[in-house]
Amino acid sequence: MYKRILITGANGLVGQKLTAIFAEDRSMDLLATARQPATANTSSNFGYTPLDMTSRGDVKELVWNFEPDVIINAGAYTNVDGCEREKEVSWRANVTAVENLVAASRLTGAKLLQISTDYVFDGKSGPYDETAMPNPLSYYGREKLAAENAVRNSGDNWLIVRTMVVYGIAQQVKKNFAIWLSGELSQGRNVRVVDDQFGNPTLADDLSRGIYELVRRGKKGVYNIAGADFISRYDFAVRLAKTFGFDPALISPIKTSDLSQPAPRPLLSGLITLKAQAELGLNFFTADESLRLFKGQYLESASLQNGD
């Protein structure tokens, strides 16, 4: 069935990946939005318009005029330590914006899909399934849980997708962990990586593929979408080094407490994805599979930047 899709936060890593996969489906009319002008390549397959999601009037006007069947919110303030320092700014981006989308979705009956995080959990008894009780440690986690609750209270036409440790390559996006690590190791620099934070590293392409299938199949409710392997950040870093041919000896394990970060992290986290796998017929990528894809994207991006 023909659907109209509105993607917010379209300039970010996940937003760009979502825009790309939905634009390929000609049975969908796609409109991408973000606060700033488009950074990704636009095409005749979809439209783009700037949008400040913290302005309820602007959000309502856009949704009323476009009349989407599904709104996918890929916009967020994801700097976890920044959320501790800039509580008002991050609340507007992570909660107020979602409340505005909820209000707008009621105008047209649109389904709202909110991308959430494992940070809604305390990381004491992971991995977590969709029924686990949230208990966030950080302000970022509390914001994302508040956004989830706003979506849950909007009625019965919604989706919440929890994910974690998302990485990948896209145009003009901030450095994620894998991009930073690749750059440091390529220069032969020593790095320190925590070995007491466990979870599922997730390639943005894999997350977007899962979200596309959820939308295409008309699903509702809460779903976990994350990489297949439950490993530590240090283990992931070593696997990245081996995939690229870097020296793993450059990576030293440390503890989270050594970093003195403003925001507490969930240590034994992770997401169980059996529900999404069973209902969507998907197997999410292992860490090694994801890293091989990431390596190809990283080298292609570096080649383009160098003008090769």
Reported as a single tens digit per residue, the pLDDT across 22-48 is 999 999 999 999 988 766 555 557 899
Cβ within 8 Å of residue 184, ≥6 positions away: 191, 250
Q: What is the dihedral of CA 155, 158, 162, 167, to 10 degrees?
A: -140
Token pair for 82: 């920044």
Give, as one character, the DSSP assignment of residue 63.
H
Q: Kindly report the average pLDDT of the chain as a whole number.
A: 95
pTM of the model: 0.95
Query: Domain for residue 234, yes or no?
Result: no
Reported as a single tens digit per residue, the pLDDT across 222-281 is 999 999 999 999 999 999 999 999 999 999 999 999 999 999 999 999 999 999 999 999
> C-alpha distances in angstroms, 85 versus 122, 262, 284?
20, 8, 35
Cα three-residue angle 272-277-282, rounded to 5 degrees: 135
Query: Domain for residue 190, yes or no?
Result: no
The low-confidence residues of the chain, meaning pLDDT below 50, are none
Give the residue among 290, 73, 72, 75 at the shortest CA–CA distance from 168: 290
Query: Domain for residue 158, yes or no?
Result: yes
Three-state DSSP state, 223:
strand
Identified catalytic residue from 140, 167, 212, 298: 140
Query: Domain for residue 125, yes or no?
Result: yes
Helices and strands of the chain, counted as H and E runs: 11, 13
**Count of domains in the chain?**
1
Query: Domain for residue 34, yes or no?
Result: yes
Residues spanned by the domain of 204? 3-170+200-228+269-286
Is residue 128 part of the annotated active site? The answer reads: no
Query: Domain for residue 248, yes or no?
Result: no
Query: Domain for residue 44, yes or no?
Result: yes
Query: Domain for residue 157, yes or no?
Result: yes
CA contacts within 13 A on the Cβ side of 40: 26
Q: Where are the beta strands (DSSP E) in 118-185?
A: 158-163, 166-167
CATH number of the CATH domain containing 75 = 3.40.50.720
Instruction: State how far the Cα of 182 lies from the Cα of 240, in Å rounded to an integer.
Output: 8
